[in-house]
């Protein structure tokens, strides 16, 4: 019961906090961009079976690999991709915590 609350709290709450406190002048746009990074979960459609409650998505799905995460960290160093990178990193943190709680 606590696991989904933490998982979705990080997915929706942490981006809101980051957007409001670090991108205050455009916090709504920053928040929407960070929320849009959840589209990265479309790579789950490539898995067989499609849903496995005991599977950790980190380093299983193509866009959740350590190589992909290195790219997401790289996004943070460029102004044009910074918000996107932060959103993707927050997403990976949420998924990693989900794995640790299994």
pLDDT in tens, 8-53: 999 999 999 999 999 999 999 999 999 999 999 999 999 998 888 8
Matching residue, tokens 């990080």: 10
Q: Is the pLDDT of residue 1 over 80?
A: no
How far apart are the C-alpha atoms of 27 and 70, rounded to whole Å?
25
Tell me if 35 sits within 8 A of 41, measured CB to CB. Answer: no
Which residue has 């019961």 as its token pair? 1
Gyration radius (Cα) of the chain, Å: 14
| Segments making up each domain of the chain, as ranges | 2-101
Q: pTM, whole model, 2 decimals?
A: 0.93
Which parts of the chain fold into alpha helices (H)?
2-22, 27-36, 66-75, 82-101
H or E element at residue 7: helix 2-22
């Amino acid at each position: 019961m606590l696991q989904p609350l933490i998982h979705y709290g990080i997915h929706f709450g942490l981006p809101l906090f980051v957007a409001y406190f670090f991108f205050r002048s455009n916090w709504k746009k920053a928040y929407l961009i960070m929320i849009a990074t959840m589209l990265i979960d479309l790579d789950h459609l490539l898995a067989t079976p499609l849903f496995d409650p005991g599977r950790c998505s980190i380093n299983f799905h193509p866009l959740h690999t350590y190589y992909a995460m290195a790219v997401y960290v790289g996004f943070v160093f460029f102004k044009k991709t910074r918000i996107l990178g932060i959103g993707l990193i927050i997403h990976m943190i949420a998924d990693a915590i989900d794995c640790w709680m299994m």
